[in-house]
Amino acid sequence: MKNWKKNLYVVFFAEMIAVTGMKFVMPFLPFYIKELGISDTEQVTHWSGWLMGAPALVMIIVSPIWGYLADRVGRKPMIERAMFGSAISIFLMAWASNIYQLLILRLIQGALTGTIAACTALISASSPSKKMGFSLGLVQTGIFLGNFLGPLLGGISADILGFRNSFRITGILLFIAGWLIFLLVEEKFIPSTKKKEVILFKKRIVLFFNNQQLFIMFFILFLVEFSVMIINPFFALFMEIIVTDPKTISTLTGLMFAITSLISAFSSVNIGKLNEKISSKFLLTVSLLGTGFFFLPQGFVTNVTQLTLLRVGLGFFMEV
């Protein structure tokens, strides 16, 4: 098998495992906060927001540093850093005894993680130009599968094995993914000797605001992601209200996330064909209206069946 193909298939499988692990904790994180001694619902929601947002905040700060190092030492070490670093930090979350320890570990996770960007960079650099679309599409498929399997398996694991064991399982999954990269991926990295043009941050900001179309698209994407992600800290607590059997709350919460991710994957694959015949502006407009149409009624559901139907509809529009 050609080297680029082997790298592609290993990265696909490893990234699917890694994303599965990353999404594993989503269905039960608010309930783990309760186990750590936070009983007030308002405080649980507050801490859920901090714990889910903290890694992303740190990633914004450290991502340029990892990108700088990737240009000098290669992409493979960056993937290993992300996977092994995440594995250790998440595995240690199983032993957190208070909310502050958990927050510190989530911050460390954010500083060390970033598997998707690292894997995409490696495949982009190693795949032939004629196979680039296929290669990146396969990596994206692995990410979609991880987004589907992670919440689904994480919720089941939390209900059957408990919260702390689920963190341990997540860490083990990421260790496996890291070892697959370490043992099987080959990268012939040659540091570039060509000096890159450095654009000052101030100049980047000026260019960004001067490009009206880019600014509008950035603002729209920000609003969409903000609207979608804003419910994540309290979604499990909302499920607690409408689920009748307390023993299945995490499982059903994971199922809701998984259903939307699966339908979104199907929608994203097929929307490319429509984009060849219909304008992107029209598709984006339909997507935004459809997302809002299926999101709003979720606040008024009284049972899991109603919510499931709305989550399916949401999936068709959310990733367009």
Predicted confidence at residue 308, as pLDDT, reads 95
Predicted confidence at residue 101, as pLDDT, reads 96
Predicted confidence at residue 37, as pLDDT, reads 92
Helix (H, G, I), strand (E, B) or coil at 301: coil
CATH number at residue 144: 1.20.1250.20
Residues 129 and 243 in one domain: no
Is residue 143 one of the residues assigned to a domain?
yes
Residues 156 and 10 in one domain: yes
Mean pLDDT along residues 205-211:
73
Is residue 273 one of the residues assigned to a domain?
yes
Is it the case that residue 104 has pLDDT exceeding 90? yes
Cα–Cα dist 264/261, whole Å: 5
Is residue 206 one of the residues assigned to a domain?
no
Residues 164 and 268 in one domain: no
Is residue 182 one of the residues assigned to a domain?
yes
Residues 177 and 239 in one domain: no
Is it the case that residue 267 has pLDDT exceeding 70? yes
Predicted confidence at residue 107, as pLDDT, reads 93
The residue range of the domain holding 249 is 231-320
Q: What angle do CA 255, 261, 264 make, to 5 degrees?
A: 140
Is it the case that residue 287 has pLDDT exceeding 60? yes
Residues 179 and 275 in one domain: no
Is residue 168 one of the residues assigned to a domain?
yes
Predicted confidence at residue 202, as pLDDT, reads 66
Residues 112 and 257 in one domain: no
Quickly count helices (H) and strands (E) in the chain.
14, 0
The residue whose two tokens read 């304008």 is 279
Other Cβ atoms closer than 10 A to 39: 8
Task: Label residue 304 by pLDDT band (50, 70, 90).
Answer: very high
Residues 170 and 86 in one domain: yes
User: pLDDT tens, 5-27?
Assistant: 888 899 998 888 888 888 888 89
Helix (H, G, I), strand (E, B) or coil at 127: coil
Residues 143 and 60 in one domain: yes
Question: Tokens standing for 5?
Answer: 């193909």
Which DSSP category does 158 fall into?
H
Cα–Cα dist 152/146, whole Å: 10
Is residue 235 one of the residues assigned to a domain?
yes
Cα–Cα dist 224/187, whole Å: 37
Is residue 221 one of the residues assigned to a domain?
no
Predicted confidence at residue 194, as pLDDT, reads 61
Residue type, 301: V
Question: Tokens standing for 191?
Answer: 């540091």
Predicted confidence at residue 282, as pLDDT, reads 82
Task: Label residue 151 by pLDDT band (50, 70, 90).
Answer: very high
User: pLDDT tens, 22-77?
Assistant: 888 889 999 999 999 998 988 999 999 999 888 888 988 888 888 888 878 888 89
Cα–Cα dist 229/56, whole Å: 12
Whether the model clears a pTM of 0.75, i.e. scores above it, the answer is yes
Average pLDDT of the residues of the chain: 85
Predicted confidence at residue 123, as pLDDT, reads 87
Is residue 299 one of the residues assigned to a domain?
yes
Sequence-distant (≥ 6) Cβ neighbours of residue 33 within 8 angstroms = 44, 47, 48, 51, 99, 102
Number of structural domains (the chain) is 2
Residues 33 and 115 in one domain: yes
User: pLDDT tens, 156-194?
Assistant: 999 999 999 999 999 999 999 999 999 998 888 776 666
Residues 158 and 253 in one domain: no
The alpha-helical segments, DSSP class H, found in the chain are 3-23, 29-35, 41-73, 76-92, 99-112, 115-126, 132-161, 163-184, 201-210, 212-229, 232-242, 249-275, 280-295, 304-318
Residues 161 and 240 in one domain: no
